[in-house]
């Protein structure tokens, strides 16, 4: 079976429940915290319009997230900072001491780097909002989106290799209304599936916020 329907890993449980005969009302009553969608209809008819949308009929979309402290600041990481963070002690005090040791030796990573992202794929288009750990709050409009994020938008039909960023204001196919629609879908998915979206770590965990890269040869 092949389909262009959009899906998410969150849809696995609702779909399995539906295939097992648990209808939407019973599922909502018994498992109110399930945020995924029932994609069982797609298995019955691959051409059916899926709840999250498809290539032919873009819908609400699927949410993709990345929050990777290990990838936040490569210049900081390659000095050796990550080596001390691989096997952190389970004891909270020892773990905190190790984090401070990293800060004393390597400083802190640059928390302003925009390497975290939130993305939405609606079947036809993909919008990615790249942001730093200091910029978690969801942008309310397109102007705020560009002020606090790096933005990429790809037409997955015309450009399946994602080589052109039609989200760049200088691109001839830039469409501010399209970006606004995709941003609304992204924010709705964050509210529905993440509920709260906040920085998962303490900026002072290394005992410093100073970025002091050492020479790799030191």
Q: What is the pLDDT along the chain (218 residues), one digit of tens a residue?
A: 788 899 999 999 999 999 999 999 999 999 999 999 999 999 888 777 788 999 988 999 999 999 998 899 999 998 889 888 988 999 999 999 999 999 999 999 999 999 999 999 999 999 999 999 999 999 999 999 999 999 999 999 999 999 999 999 999 999 999 999 999 999 999 999 998 999 999 999 999 999 987 654 44
Residue for token pair 């079976």? 1
The pLDDT score that the predictor gives to residue 213 is 76
The pLDDT score that the predictor gives to residue 45 is 82
Q: Ramachandran region of residue 105, left (φ > 0), alpha (ψ -120 to 50) or beta?
A: alpha
CA 184 – CA 188 distance, rounded (Å): 6
Q: What ranges do the domains of the chain cover?
A: 1-56, 58-218
Contact, 186 vs 118, CB < 8 A?
Answer: yes
What number of other Cβ atoms are within 10 A of residue 57's Cβ? Answer: 13
CA 131 – CA 47 distance, rounded (Å): 36
The pLDDT score that the predictor gives to residue 152 is 98
The pLDDT score that the predictor gives to residue 50 is 86
What number of other Cβ atoms are within 10 A of residue 35's Cβ? Answer: 16
The pLDDT score that the predictor gives to residue 216 is 47
Tokens of 204: 């002072």
What number of other Cβ atoms are within 10 A of residue 48's Cβ? Answer: 14
DSSP 171: S
Max CA pair span of the chain: 63
Contact, 129 vs 135, CB < 8 A?
Answer: no
The pLDDT score that the predictor gives to residue 86 is 87
pTM (2 d.p.): 0.89
CATH fold for domain 58-218: Arylsulfatase, C-terminal domain (3.30.1120)
């Amino acid at each position: 079976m092949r389909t262009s329907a959009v899906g998410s890993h969150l849809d696995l449980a609702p779909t399995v429940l539906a295939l097992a005969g648990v209808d939407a009302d019973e599922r909502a009553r018994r498992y109110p915290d399930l945020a995924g969608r029932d994609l069982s209809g797609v298995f019955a008819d691959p051409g059916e319009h899926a709840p999250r949308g498809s290539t032919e009929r873009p819908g609400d979309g699927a949410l993709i997230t990345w929050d990777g402290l290990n990838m936040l600041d490569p210049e900081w990481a390659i000095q050796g900072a990550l080596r001390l963070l691989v096997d952190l002690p389970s004891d909270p005090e020892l773990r905190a001491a190790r984090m401070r040791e990293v800060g004393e030796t390597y400083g802190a990573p640059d928390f302003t780097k925009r390497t975290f992202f939130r993305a939405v794929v609606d079947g036809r288009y993909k919008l990615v909002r790249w942001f730093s750990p200091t910029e978690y709050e969801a942008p309310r409009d397109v102007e705020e989106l560009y002020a606090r994020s790096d933005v990429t938008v790809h037409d997955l039909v015309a450009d399946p290799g994602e080589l052109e960023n039609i989200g760049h204001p200088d691109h001839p196919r830039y469409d501010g209304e399209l970006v606004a629609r995709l941003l609304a879908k992204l924010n709705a998915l964050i509210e529905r599936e993440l509920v709260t979206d906040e920085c998962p770590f303490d900026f002072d965990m290394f005992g410093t916020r100073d970025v002091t890269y050492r020479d790799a040869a030191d």
